[in-house]
């Protein structure tokens, strides 16, 4: 039986390789995601390893976040250097939002990876590791010198001796030092798209700390024979209560914490779409094996008649699936490695440059490739394999052998049960208060999709009957034949359409989500936009307070409202903590809710309404904020309605922002109010002030709305690109089903040709069948997409997405594209059918 299985497999290799290709695509996405994330993880090792000394002294509670306004006094360095277990102590100065301007007067990088600035230091990192070293030129020695990392210098177009314009978030907004050195990692690592500008320590203190004799942190290097634990105990005995000392390993881990979380999210995000591709691929495999087993019914019945047991026949089909799974895993592994390189190239376009890193293929990657390939293929072949066991040996004596199938009524019942359970899970996950809501929603979506798939043979009958009637009226005899062929086996037609249905259901959901989010943003900005212009950093980063001071002096400007905000955690959840003066709150149109007042002093916080509801707090309650100043309790002064012009989720007073909270003195947004001067004239004057800072832009209401919509549109486009893989597999499924259907009906095709059906008519018949399958999948997918999208956006109304917008035009395009897909998918099968030799086709058994 094993030899028979392998011989059967080789005899149908072309047909089965088409279905294997679907699994190859799905597996390659899993492999590509794992290789890319492992490479990304490894690529940061050199950065993290060099991000801390043996012991790091920093302001208490700062953790691994960006530098704030709190610093380490300068005299601490000498005190630490005098300890018996210390080889040396080095003050470090660091900042973000330090942009290198290239030769075309454009900022280098900016999106994603940060723009870093620091004081140059040759202090050794943990365990004596070397971090950045000068590979060309020299270290900076005065206020006119700067060192860039090699990739930034290359991207910006600078070489040693050139003047480099640099925009900083400090009081001195723009400097133009001379490039005196190029730096790189000693071990061949890279900054992964981040940019670095290094100054001498005194200049860095002047630029980033306002000239204080202080440091953002101090690295303490252990003497020979002294461990990190021993050294940190010595250091803790001499530092003040407002400072903390941690080992280098702990510091590196905390520095990496947020990035590790981001990498984990990215990996999960990509793996979700790999799962979608695998589910769609599984439909193709199930359909293919069902058709192939049905075509081999007589052969399998003969095997039973010759003495093969039911178990042997079933196992023979599963052996074929196992071999294909291994083959698909091998091909998917190779394609996945290429896909990982493509992912790296794609992310390099948005700033995450991994060009200096070799791909990392961990042991889990091939294990995942073969496990997924074999499990999906064998599971997909299981139902057709079990069905073969029900073939009676006596059927081998008949001319026509029918493969036993479950009743459509039973499938309808199973489908309805799954759909109801899935709908209930959706309601609980979206509207209920449950842990792991994302998994509940995902399970609900999958259950609904599987339920509709199970019931689709009956659900599709009215649509297929309508298509048959339309074909008969428009195309005559050819239309009658095409309509009858689609209705002949509704299971196969519906199963093929289901793969397309899943892809378009998710695409429709994302279309509604994207359109609703964009419409909600537009409405919020229209309702709340104040002033004439908003000035922000185009990369979302901070900028110098001197910009606001310069704008106040512009002719035609009446008032400039200043907003500051930065990343923090509120009750353990991600949040933006902002600062706006009390008088500017009214100016910006911020609506304070009942019992609320502007925060005053250094211990009061104002919360966005939804944030307060989620934390279940009211005015007078306390909340815990994790800020650069540490983990602190703040009193809730009140709540306010969401406002896109004040994007912070929590507000404190400006004094508390840079005082107790410890955030840096850097602005994030300016709202400019004119004195009645024409808007275009005022805009030109503002642009003149911002001319030497290309990362800043002044936007009116329409421009600001466009900028706010851009991330939403980019995310939707990325999702569509990923869903494209599932749609490619679905199209392959249609091609495969039609090709196998033509093979199955070889004799029928020959008879039709013999009685006068022309080649063009035959091609038209196969094309109409393909269009019917595609439109069926598109209609079911669009209906489900609208259902999922409306339900999801209804659940998100409390998150500020108050407008539900259904892009009917875009959904209509999906239906038109379904017709195009049907026509294109039928090209090869229709061509093969038309080229069949009539006499040989009639003689086929």
Minimal CA–CA distance to 666: which of 324, 253, 207? 207
Share of the chain above pLDDT 70, in %: 88
Q: Residues 38-62: pLDDT tens digits?
A: 887 777 766 676 778 899 998 886 6
pLDDT beyond 70 at 845 = no
What pLDDT is attached to residue 109?
A: 74
pLDDT band for position 721 (50/70/90)? confident
What pLDDT is attached to residue 197?
A: 94
Q: Which residue has the tokens 């400072």?
A: 243
Mean pLDDT over 4-10 rounds to: 63
In angstroms, the CA 616 to CA 624 distance is: 13
What pLDDT is attached to residue 175?
A: 92
Q: Residues 163-174: pLDDT tens digits?
A: 999 998 877 788
Q: Which of 551-565, 657-671, 712-726 has the lowest mean pLDDT?
A: 712-726
What pLDDT is attached to residue 403?
A: 46
pLDDT beyond 90 at 798 = no
Q: Which of 414-418, 506-510, 721-725, 820-824 has the lowest mean pLDDT?
A: 721-725
Mean pLDDT over 723-729 rounds to: 75
Q: Phi and psi of 590, rounded to 5°? A: -75, 125
Strand-pairing partners, residue 55, are 220, 247
Q: Which of 58-72, 214-228, 830-844 has the lowest mean pLDDT?
A: 58-72
Minimal CA–CA distance to 746: which of 769, 762, 760? 762
Angle value at C-alpha 833, between 829 and 835, nearest 5 degrees: 120
- The mean predicted confidence, pLDDT, of the chain is 83
pTM of the model: 0.76
> Which of the 8 DSSP states describes residue 826?
T
Would you list the DSSP string of 182-203?
Answer: EEEETTS---TT-EEEEE-HHH
3-state secondary structure 777-792: HHHHHHHHHHHHHHHH
What pLDDT is attached to residue 15?
A: 61
Q: Residues 345-380: pLDDT tens digits?
A: 777 766 666 666 778 888 889 998 898 888 888 887
pLDDT beyond 80 at 342 = yes
Q: Which of 195-209, 560-574, 655-669, 719-733 has the lowest mean pLDDT?
A: 719-733
């Amino acid at each position: 039986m094993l030899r028979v299985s392998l011989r059967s497999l080789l005899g149908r290799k072309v047909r089965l390789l088409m279905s294997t290709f679907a699994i190859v695509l799905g597996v390659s996405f899993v492999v590509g995601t794992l290789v890319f994330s492992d490479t990304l993880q490894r690529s940061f090792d050199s950065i993290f390893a060099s991000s801390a000394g043996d012991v790091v002294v920093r302001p208490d509670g700062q953790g691994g976040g960006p530098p704030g306004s709190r610093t380490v006094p300068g005299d601490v360095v000498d005190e630490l250097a005098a300890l018996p277990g210390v080889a040396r102590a080095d003050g470090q100065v660091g900042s973000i939002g330090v942009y290198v301007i290239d030769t075309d007067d454009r900022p280098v990088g900016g999106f994603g990876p940060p723009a870093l600035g620091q004081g140059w230091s040759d202090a050794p990192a943990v365990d004596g590791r070397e971090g950045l070293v000068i590979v060309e030129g020299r270290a900076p020695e005065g206020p006119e010198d700067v060192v860039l990392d090699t990739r930034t210098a290359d991207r910006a177009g600078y070489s040693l001796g050139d003047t480099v314009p640099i925009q900083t978030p400090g009081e001195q907004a723009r400097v133009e030092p001379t490039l005196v050195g190029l730096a790189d990692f000693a071990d061949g690592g890279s900054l992964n798209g981040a940019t670095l500008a290094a100054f001498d320590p005194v200049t860095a203190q002047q630029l980033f700390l306002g000239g204080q004799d202080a440091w953002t942190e101090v690295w303490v290097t252990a003497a020979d024979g002294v461990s990190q634990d021993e050294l940190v105990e010595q250091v803790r005995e001499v530092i003040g209560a407002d400072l903390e000392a941690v080992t280098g390993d702990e510091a590196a881990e905390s520095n990496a914490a947020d990035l590790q979380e981001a990498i984990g999210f990215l990996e999960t995000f990509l793996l979700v779409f790999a799962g979608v591709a695998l589910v769609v691929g599984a439909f193709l495999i199930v359909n293919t094996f069902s058709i192939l087993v049905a075509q081999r019914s007589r052969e399998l019945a003969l095997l039973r008649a010759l003495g093969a047991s039911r178990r042997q026949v079933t196992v023979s089909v599963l052996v074929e699936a196992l071999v294909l799974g291994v083959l698909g895993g091998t091909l998917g592994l190779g394609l996945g490695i290429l896909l990982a390189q493509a992912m790296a190239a794609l992310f390099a376009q948005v700033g995450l440059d991994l060009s200096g890193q070799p791909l990392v293929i961990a042991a889990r990657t091939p294990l995942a490739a073969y496990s997924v390939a074999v499990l999906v293929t064998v599971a997909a072949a299981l139902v057709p394999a079990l069905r073969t066991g029900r073939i009676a040996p006596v059927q081998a004596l008949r001319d026509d052998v029918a493969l036993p199938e479950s009743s459509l009524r039973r499938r309808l019942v199973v489908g309805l049960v799954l759909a109801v359970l899935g709908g209930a899970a959706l309601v609980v996950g979206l509207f209920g208060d449950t842990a792991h809501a994302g998994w509940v929603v995902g399970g609900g979506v999958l259950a609904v999709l599987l339920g509709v798939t199970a019931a689709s043979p009956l659900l599709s009958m009215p649509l297929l009957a309508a298509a048959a009637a339309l074909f008969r009226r428009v195309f005559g005899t050819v239309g009658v034949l095409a309509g009858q062929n689609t209705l002949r086996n509704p299971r196969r037609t519906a199963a093929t359409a289901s793969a397309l249905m899943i892809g378009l259901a998710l695409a429709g959901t994302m279309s509604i989500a994207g359109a609703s989010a964009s419409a909600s943003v537009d409405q919020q900005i229209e309702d709340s936009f104040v002033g004439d212009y908003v000035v922000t950093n185009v990369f979302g980063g901070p900028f110098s307070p001197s910009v606001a001071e310069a704008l106040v002096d512009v002719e035609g400007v009446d008032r400039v409202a200043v907003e500051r905000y930065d990343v923090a955690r509120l009750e353990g959840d991600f949040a933006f903590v902002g600062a706006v003066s009390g008088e500017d709150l009214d100016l910006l149109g911020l609506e304070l809710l009942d019992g609320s007042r502007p925060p005053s002093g250094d211990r009061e916080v104002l919360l966005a309404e939804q944030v307060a509801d989620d934390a279940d707090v009211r005015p007078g309650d306390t909340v815990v904020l994790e800020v650069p100043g540490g983990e602190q309790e703040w009193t809730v002064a009140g709540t306010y309605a969401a406002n896109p012009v004040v994007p912070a989720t929590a507000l404190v007073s400006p004094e508390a922002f840079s005082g107790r909270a410890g955030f840096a003195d850097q602005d994030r947004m300016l709202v400019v109010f004119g004195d009645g001067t024409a808007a275009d004239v005022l805009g030109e004057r503002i642009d003149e002030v911002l001319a030497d800072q290309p990362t800043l832009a002044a936007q009116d209401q329409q421009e600001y709305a466009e900028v706010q919509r851009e991330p939403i549109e980019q995310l939707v486009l990325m999702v569509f690109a990923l869903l494209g893989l599932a749609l490619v597999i679905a199209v392959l499924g249609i091609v495969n089903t039609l090709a196998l259907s033509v093979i199955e009906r070889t004799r029928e095709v020959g008879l039709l040709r013999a009685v006068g059906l022309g080649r063009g008519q035959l091609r038209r018949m196969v094309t109409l069948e393909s269009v019917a399958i595609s439109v069926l999948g598109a209609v079911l997918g669009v209906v489900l997409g609208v259902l999922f999208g409306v339900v999801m956006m209804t659940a998100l109304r409390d998150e500020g997405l108050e407008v539900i917008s259904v892009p009917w035009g875009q959904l209509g395009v999906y239906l038109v594209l379904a017709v195009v897909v049907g026509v294109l998918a039928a090209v090869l099968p229709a061509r093969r059918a038309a080229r069949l030799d009539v006499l040989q086709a009639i003689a086929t058994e």
